[in-house]
């Protein structure tokens, strides 16, 4: 009996937790206490944000808008391939238009910016078989660099102008290959120019058949520097 009375007394003696009207405390703290806590975290996060902004600012001071501060010279530059099928394989049926039409559309979209009219308007006509090097003049930097014209007509049968299907309808598909840009790289000057070969593995060589390679520019030993797309086309013959 006494235990129940003591329990009732203890229960009644508990003060409200969320809001105490006698002490004007909310969740056990007064308004001034909550204000100090909020002020502390406000100053704390402003300090963290300032440190982050300062760190980013110092890091950005070390970066160049047109040339990476640090770069590794790759032995083999990366390549971009269009169109690109699943698992790097292009499989289609010449009699099924829907199976290869997506590849032709991909090439149309890719070559759209390389129409002759746009190239004349946006890029420079560079002398063939010469490096198009745009040097800085003292402290005056020659940026942004200009690109050489790359007209899709140089791709001939793979340009999509004479054959809108890029050879896919005839079972002679075109594949465009472009080297990724490597700043400071002069193909053919300090070594062998990049070249393309297919069938590195024996199983690939047996399945590929004969190929026709077309290099752009047509000379394999030199490339124009800063050509927007030094593209190589290949077409099974």
User: Could you tell me if 65 and 143 are in contact, meaning their C-beta atoms sit under 8 angstroms apart?
Assistant: yes
Q: What is the pLDDT of residue 15?
A: 58
Given CA atoms 14, 16, 17, 20 in this order, what sign does their dihedral have?
negative
CB-based contact 160:109 (threshold 8 Å): no
pLDDT of residue 74: 62
Q: Are 208 and 198 in contact (CB under 8 A)?
A: yes
The DSSP H or E segment spanning 117 is helix 116-122
Q: How many CA atoms lie within 13 A of 205 on its CB side?
A: 5
Tens of pLDDT, residue by residue, the chain (237 residues): 455 545 444 544 455 667 777 777 777 778 888 888 899 999 999 999 999 999 999 998 888 777 777 776 666 677 888 888 777 778 888 889 898 999 999 999 988 888 888 888 888 887 776 667 777 776 667 677 777 888 888 888 888 888 899 989 988 888 888 877 777 777 666 666 666 767 666 666 666 767 777 766 554 433 333 334 434 444 443
Please give the backbone phi and psi of residue 108, each rounded to the nearest 5 degrees, phi first. Answer: -60, -45
pLDDT confidence of residue 138: 66
* CATH number at 79-236: 2.60.40.1660
Listing DSSP states for 11-22 in one string gives HHHPPPSSEETT
In three-state secondary structure terms, 192 is: coil
What pLDDT does 1 receive?
A: 47
At 40 the pLDDT is 94
pLDDT for 44 equals 96
Q: Residue 224: is it exposed, middle or buried by C-beta count within 10 angstroms (0-12/13-18/19+)?
A: buried
Q: Specify whether the CB–CB gap between 101 and 83 falls below 8 A.
A: no
Nearest to 173 by CA among 157, 162, 196: 157
Q: Taking the domains of the chain in order of start, what are their residue ranges?
A: 2-61, 79-236
Contact (CB, 8 A) for 154 and 216: yes
Q: 232: Cβ–Cβ under 8 A, 6 or more apart, which residues?
A: 176, 177, 178, 196, 213, 214, 215, 216
d(CA 153, CA 114): 9
């Amino acid at each position: 009996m006494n235990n129940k009375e003591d329990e009732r007394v203890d229960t009644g003696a508990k003060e409200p937790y969320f809001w105490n009207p006698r002490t004007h405390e909310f969740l056990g703290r007064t308004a001034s206490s909550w204000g100090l806590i909020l002020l502390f975290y406000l100053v704390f996060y402003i300090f963290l944000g300032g440190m982050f902004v300062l760190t980013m600012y110092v890091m950005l001071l070390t970066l160049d808008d047109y040339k990476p501060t640090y770069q590794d010279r790759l032995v083999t530059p990366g390549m971009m391939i269009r169109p690109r099928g699943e698992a790097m394989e292009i499989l289609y049926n010449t009699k099924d238009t829907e199976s290869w039409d997506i590849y032709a559309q991909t090439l149309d979209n890719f070559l759209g910016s390389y129409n002759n009219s746009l190239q004349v308007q946006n890029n420079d006509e560079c002398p063939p078989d010469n490096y198009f090097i745009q040097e800085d003049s003292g402290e005056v930097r020659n940026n942004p660099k200009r690109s050489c014209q790359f007209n899709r007509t140089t791709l001939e049968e793979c340009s999509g102008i004479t054959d809108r299907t890029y050879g896919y309808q005839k079972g002679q598909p075109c594949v465009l290959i472009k080297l990724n840009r490597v700043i400071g790289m002069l193909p053919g000057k300090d070594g062998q120019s990049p070249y393309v070969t297919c069938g590195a593995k024996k199983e690939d060589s047996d399945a590929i058949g004969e190929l026709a390679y077309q290099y752009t520019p047509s000379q394999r030993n030199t490339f124009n520097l800063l050509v927007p797309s030094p593209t190589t086309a290949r077409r099974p013959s």
